[in-house]
Structure 1
Amino acid sequence: MKANSFSIVIPTHNRSALVAVLLQTLSIARAGFTDAVEVFVIDSSEGDEATTIQELCVKWGASYLRCTNNVCKKRNIGIQRASGEYVFFTDSDCEVPPDILNQHAQAYESAGEDVGGVLGLTTITGNLAPIWRTLELDSSFTA
């Protein structure tokens, strides 16, 4: 295990357009992070979608893994393959900010004790799904 290294696990199914955006934003985050980062895309897509996601993995330096099971099994496969000190989960419909890896590493390092996980707030852009329209962000939330 390498100090401050990350293994990023991305489960997906039939979301090549979203995976493309996520991998692009991850490449920017990786460029601003000095320690090792490995990315695993665990996919259950078929046909052209699977081929496209494989090609995206090659383009953006991610490892492509096949799994036809549910998202929990996909995450577990990612954990089994992970060699980083920290395992970072994100969904294929997300985009990450450029400093996400540095922020997460800093959170782990500054905790001063064993940390089981670090959570990042979600910023929603674009059209909101109905569920998000019904939820309000409570500014009193603190971690």
Structure 2
Amino acid sequence: MSGGPTSDEQRPMVSVVVPVKDSIRTIEACLRSIRAQTWPSVELVVIDNFSTDGTWEIVQKYAHHAEQAGPERSAQRNLGIERAQGPWILWIDADMELPPTIIERAMHTLEEEGADGVFIPEITVGDGYWTACRALERLCGIEEVWVQSPRLVPRDYLLRTGGFLESLSGTEDAELRTRMALDGYSLAWIPDLIIHDEGEMSLQFILSKRYYYGRGLKKYRNEHPGALSTQAGRALGAYRKHWRRLAAKPHVAAGVVFMRAGEFIAYGAGAAVGALDRSEAST
């Protein structure tokens, strides 16, 4: 295990890895927020999946290392991890923004707690009713670390264990969390929030993503039996614990319940189709 930095004076480099594809709406705010960090040693690595909307031109203005490759975000992240120079990897998406002190807080927390990685919660912003539902759902889970992602991770660990599983889509972050826990890594948590600008989401968009993610659920279950039910239990526990947050916005809370039920069905449908596809491929 890697442990945190031994002193503030060392200031080890943090390499921020961002996969991107056609993200012109959010990419500049994302990259500006990374370059504005108070931690003095930050490297920005961006892997662009051949964007055609002007994203690539913006990436080249801000990134220390910019490269074009695909096919999906896990492969892009893994390439970014290979290209990174720092001993610590912070991975985010192209529609996220970092408050200016968040890396500094995370690095100090590593040292103070002797941790091997850091959970950093996120909060959703955007327009429309369903985006408000997603925002309220995330708000209920901010303090529940086992529904968060370990965003700050030792680069050597990722290289040694294969990085993000490229056979997964949507559950690769949960798989990393479970893998690190099973490997005995100590993960700290900070209250600082990553801002996730999800725009104006529709229910159809939300459910179609969950259907797509569901197609890889069997692979995740095979890798980590019982992890999905544990995560679901933690999420339900967070809703019960923070029922007052839900009760304060009853019309939005009703949407959260409806949305989560729909997501459960979409995950199941995707998992069934994914299992059928693999069965046909093996015959």
User: Does the Cα contact within 8 Å between 1:8 and 1:90 map onto a contact in 2?
Assistant: yes
Flag the 1:56–1:46 CA change in 2: closer, same or farther, 3 A. Answer: closer
Alpha-carbon distance in structure 1 between the residues aligned to 2:104 and 2:135: 31
Task: Give SS of 1:38's match.
Answer: strand
Q: Whose relative contact order is higher, 1 or 2, with alpha carbons under 8 Å and at least 6 apart?
A: 1
Mapped to 1, the partners of 2:49 and 2:122 lie a distance apart of: 25
TM-score by length of 2: 0.43
1:89 aligned residue (88, 91, 104): 91
TM-score for the superposition, normalised by structure 1: 0.79
Residue 28 (1) aligns with residue 31 (2)? no
Q: In the aligned structure 1, how far is the partner of 2:134 from the partner of 2:69?
A: 30
Task: State the identity %.
Answer: 22
Q: Deviations over 1:7-60 (max 9, x none)?
A: 11001111022111101111221xx222x211111111343x2xx333323322
Structure 2 residues not aligned, in runs of 5+: 1-9, 146-188, 190-283
Consecutive unaligned residues in structure 1, runs of 5 or more: none
Partner amino acid, structure 1, of 2:47: I
**2:27 is the alignment partner of 1:37:** no
After superposition, residues 89-128 of structure 1 pair within 5 angstroms as 89-112=91-114, 115=116, 117-127=117-127
Residue 93 of structure 1, CA deviation: 0.7
State the partner residue of 2:144: 141
Task: Give the number of the structure whose alpha-carbon radius of gyration is greater.
Answer: 2
Q: Do 1:9 and 1:79's aligned partners in 2 also have CA atoms closer than 8 Å?
A: yes
Q: Aligned residues, how many?
A: 134
Q: Give how far 1:61 is off.
A: 4.0
More helix by share: 2
Between 52-61 and 90-99, the greater mean CA deviation after superposition: 52-61
Q: Which amino acid aligns with 2:12?
A: N
